[in-house]
Amino acid sequence: MDLLLLILLSIALLFCGYATYGTWVSKWLNLRRDLSTPAHTLRDTQDFVPAGKFYLVNQHLSAIAAAGPIVGPILAGMWFGWLPTFVWIILGGIFVGGVHDMLTLVASARHQGRSIAEIIKDTMGQKAFVIFLLFLWFSLIYIIAAFTDVTASTFAEPTHGAGIASASMLYLALAFVMGLVIRFFNPPLTLTTFIFLPLVFLCIWLGPQIPLYLPALGRLDLRMTWNVFLLGYCFIAAIIPVWLLLQPRGYLGGFFLILTAGVSLLGIIVGTISGGKFPIHYPAFVAAVNPQGLPLLPILFTTVACGACSGFHCLIASGTTSKQLNKETDAQFVGYGGMLMESFVAVMALGTLMILNNEQLAGLKEPNQIYANGVASFLNVLGINRTFALNFALLAFATFVYDTLDVATRLGRYIFQELTGWRSPKSAYVATLATLILPLWFLTKQFTDGHGNRIPGWKMFWTVFGASNQLLAAMVLFGLAVWLFKLRLKFKVALWPSLFMVLIAIGSLFLIIRPWLAQLCEGHFTADPVGITCLALFILTAFLLAEGSKIFFQRPPDTAKRIKPTPTPDSPITDTQVSG
């Protein structure tokens, strides 16, 4: 079988899922074109601004699709084979991830653009609100730890790492300058794009010419040194104004995402039609080969993670996207459709593994290397220099990670300040530092597999990150099921996937920390950060489920409390008239 055939099959399946199940969920939610959204009722030209659905879905996709749908599918494919990975990406995106994202977006839009945490507070009470914030904070810690170490592994790679690190620093400096230019000179966005986007390619070319080598810090090896450096970057990025770095870097990163996926697909099409290239070599099924020797069920689901479902998406959908939703009916295209687009990115990432045979895979141990090698092969078919294409793919990978690190650290700061109620001038610094302490502890430790062989920390963290991420999605779906139940809407569309993901995630976490729990039961306590934080997630999950379950056994509220659509005060606005 050729890779192109499988990609075309994925497009067809995802489109059918959008047209059928996505449409049914939209009808069950009673989405209305005449319901006034917060983008109109609270329009302030800064946060609440209506945007056309085609403009908004691109912005939403660039925010939710970081390195997760690349690393997860490649790892799952390596550990369990490409076929079960492919099946879960498609089914998970259609029946779990898409539902999670669209429901979060709609719920936020119907609560005046408020966050998912505030919606849970309204629905389930103050205690559930605090529990959910704690749960969210622990999940963000694993996100920061996993993605920081993935990036550090890229920069520490002996062949191309120093050049990619240099190109990455140049790219961040370029985004910094772009933020200053936009802030103080306010040029047209089109002109700014035409100036700064070509300079990104100059950074890609220039980086290998001036490679950046970091000296090891004391007992830390090069990867750990980069971890410390990147966590320092996270600290700075989380406290400086968003216009200075986060916004311009995210804007440029969006182009990377679209350009990488689009050009790669074109390369696959040209290579298959013209030369019969890119047949599938990697086996459909393999024995479990992950570092901890964990089984396919349930670890497959939590390893794929963001490619099929991501709890992280609720922060974007209810944080920024809901404030720009022009019409309620756009939620299906932006929320549900955006998730299925990310699933397609995951299929493309899986494809970079599927074209490798055992001999080729022997020299590519890390997902970033596999992804970059595949993208370089796709681009090389189009006549693009392979070395440049490889550097382009590695920098694109690092760029996707920056999207996650910036947002996750800043959100961790917000949550810590919300939990403590600390609002002094120094609170931002203390809250950011508190969020980064545990990742720093994790990423300066040595990890070994079951045979005593040393392995990168992110390989240990990825299964925990995936499990906590899926558990977060499950808790959000559970909270949304309670919300739908109180409105007398079809709540089971959220409840069943929620319970399924709870079982999957809890099972995964239990298998991961089972050795530590066994020692604990025998009276031998060790300060294992993974075990301690996973146990905290167990406890928080139990409390949150208990709080929500009480509502299901209560009498449903009167139908008079259901949300009724009200005509928007604005005249009908078409997508072409709304620019955002």
The ranges assigned to domains in the chain are 3-29+51-556
What pLDDT is attached to residue 452?
67
Write out the DSSP string of 394-422: HHHHHHHHHHHHHHHHHHHHHHHHHHHT-
CB neighbours of 222 closer than 8 A, spacing ≥ 6? 156, 214, 216
Residue 55 CA to residue 41 CA, distance in Å, equals 20
Would you state the pLDDT for residue 105? 97
Could you give the CA distance from residue 357 to residue 154 in angstroms, rounded to a whole number?
A: 22
**Would you put residue 213 in left (φ > 0), alpha (ψ -120 to 50) or beta?**
beta
DSSP, collapsed to helix, strand or coil, labels residue 225 as: helix
- What is the per-residue pLDDT for 568? 44
Would you tell me the crossing angle of helices 126-156 and 116-124 to the nearest 10 degrees?
Answer: 150
**∠514-132-237 over CA atoms, to 5°?**
95
CB neighbour list of residue 418: distance below 8 Å, 6 or more residues apart: 133
Q: What is the DSSP letter of 307?
A: G
Q: Are 470 and 501 in contact (CB under 8 A)?
A: yes
Provide the pLDDT for residue 556. 56
Residue 571's pLDDT is what? 38
CATH fold, domain 3-29+51-556, is Amino acid/polyamine transporter I (1.20.1740)
For 486-530, write each residue's pLDDT tens digit: 999 999 999 999 999 999 999 999 998 888 888 888 888 777 777
Residues of the chain with pLDDT under 70: 46, 291-292, 449-453, 555-580
Tally Cβ neighbours within 10 Å of residue 113. Answer: 23
Calculate the alpha carbon distances from 532 to 257, 444, 505, 517 in Å.
Answer: 36, 17, 16, 10
Strands of 230-281, DSSP E? none
Cα 71 from Cα 73, distance rounded (Å) = 6
Residue the block writes with tokens 């209560």: 554
Q: What is the CA radius of gyration of the chain?
A: 23
CA 86/CA 197 separation, integer angstroms: 33
Angle at 159 between CA 158 and CA 161, to 5 degrees: 70
Residues facing residue 447 across a β-bridge: 455
From residue 473, alpha-carbon distances to 37, 272, 308, 534 in Å are 24, 38, 11, 16
325-344: pLDDT as tens digits: 999 999 999 999 999 999 99
Q: 2 forms bridges with which residues in the sheet?
A: 279
Q: CA 435, 436, 437, 440 torsion: positive or negative? A: positive
Question: To 10 degrees, the CA torsion angle through 119, 121, 125, 126?
Answer: 180
Report whether 323 contacts 49 (CB < 8 A).
yes
- Give the pLDDT of residue 291: 66
Cis status of the peptide bond prior to 298, with omega within 30 of 0: yes
**Pair 500, 297: CB distance under 8 Å:** no
Burial of 436 (0-12, 13-18, 19+ CB in 10 A): buried
- The DSSP H or E segment spanning 454 is strand 454-455
Q: Are the C-beta atoms of residues 136 and 119 closer than 8 Å to each other?
A: no
Taking the C-alpha atoms of residue 204 and residue 568, their distance in angstroms, rounded to an integer, is 47
d(CA 13, CA 74): 20
SS (H, E, C) 315-337: HHHHHCHHHHECCCCHHHHHHHH
Give me the pLDDT at residue 422, please: 84
Which tokens go with 264? 């790669």
